[in-house]
Amino acid sequence: MSEQEQERLILDTVDKFLQKEVRPYAIELETSDTYPDDIVEQMKAMGLFGCIIPEEYGGLGLSASTYAKVIELVSREWMSLSGIVNSHLIMAYITLTQGTEQQKQHFLPRFATGEIRGGLALTEPNCGTDLQAIRTVAKRDGDDYVINGSKTWISNGIKGSCYALLVKTDPQASPRHAGMSMFLAEKRDGFNVGRKLKKLGYKGIDSAELIFENYRIPANCLIGEQEGKGLQTALSGLSLGRINVAARGVGVAQRALSESLSYSQVRETFGQPICQHQAIQLKLADMATKTEAARLLVKQAADALDRGERCDLEAGMAKLFASEAAVHNSMEAMRIHGAYGYSPELVIERLYRDAPLLAIGEGTNEIQRTVIAKRLIEKYPV
């Protein structure tokens, strides 16, 4: 079977699963903010928690390009599911690319099956974009480290069991990033979950506070078993995360477009379908163009990652444009649907609430612009 045939088979399988097991229940689960346990179990059985984990470690071994297409499909139906996978796979990707062989052998097969699920623990109450300002500290104590501090807005914080945890092993280091390290931290004594955080959208998935009180962790859980590499490790995982968020943006933008195309052909005003009105046609044209442009930017970023190239520029561009396309299309879809778009009985209202997260998560779009500009100056010096 060719690579293209394999990709088509995977995407068809995922699409059928989404149509049968997700679309009929997404609005109800979203409205009640209920974690989709049954759906997650089916995702585990399909191997989706091992999407980008190589086959030698029990994963599906998908390319970043195919993975992005899977995430686009998932996000068309219910964006929250893509977040359950994303945070987990960033942790897996970091382990794969930065971990020791012992860490890979121990964790990756269990990540792939979903036996261990979790995510990325970076953000703190007083620290988001500026990761070097984190305050969670790990102090060496014999063969262990003892960790104290807290994290917030952590996806999979309640239902997950293991996290790529960013800490400071040397709070006095200069530059600050030289004192940062990252651990694979499993829940045990001293690792406590705080409250579930309420959100405008992106419901169903659990976003929570994590609290560490004299949390003792073996030194061999330090990723790469070398202190001072935490920031670089986190940033390496964010390239995959930004491709995921960009693919989500394409999915949301496409669903908003598809719903608008259908509705505009059946809704009539002044004796004709509203798709015949120029004002609506202009909206549909812009929505379609933004969606396709975003899809191509995601492909460019994913292809660069698959080639093993540095792709923070491409991933930043894709994340920036695709998330803004999602915000734009969701708003235009609501305008096209009028009062019906404002009702939670239709998917438009959910898209409108979900889309803004994409402009914030995995680095705000403001920081994406600075990343893009710095990389352009670096890449094209005078």
> Would residue 7 show up in a list of annotated catalytic residues for this protein?
no
Please count the other Cβ atoms lying within 10 Å of the Cβ belonging to residue 84. 26
Catalytic annotation, pick one of 5, 362, 366, 378: 362
In sequence order, the 6+-apart residues with CB closer than 8 A to the CB of 15 are 73
Report yes or no: 163 and 211 within 8 Å, Cβ to Cβ: no
Report yes or no: 233 and 249 within 8 Å, Cβ to Cβ: no
Report yes or no: 151 and 122 within 8 Å, Cβ to Cβ: yes
Burial class (CB in 10 A: 0-12, 13-18, 19+), 36: buried
In whole angstroms, how far apart are CA 368 and each of 145, 181, 246, 357, 373? Answer: 34, 23, 12, 14, 9
Terminal C-alpha separation, the chain: 48
Report yes or no: 145 and 139 within 8 Å, Cβ to Cβ: yes
Q: Pick from 21, 10, 119, 29: which is nearest to 68 by CA?
A: 10
Dihedral pair phi/psi, residue 257, rounded to 5°: -65, -50
- Return d(Cα 165, Cα 157) in angstroms, integer: 12
- Return d(Cα 71, Cα 114) in angstroms, integer: 17
Report yes or no: 124 and 152 within 8 Å, Cβ to Cβ: yes
Q: Quick one: angle between helices 278-306 and 230-266, nearest 10?
A: 150
Q: Which residue has the tokens 């964006």?
A: 79
Binning the chain into helix, strand and coil, the percentages to the nearest 5 are 60, 15, 25
Q: Pick from 128, 373, 141, 368: which is nearest to 246 by CA?
A: 368
Q: What three-state secondary structure class fits 269?
A: strand
Q: Which residue has the tokens 């195309």?
A: 261
Q: Which residue has the tokens 């623990």?
A: 121
> Looking at the annotation, which residues are catalytic?
362
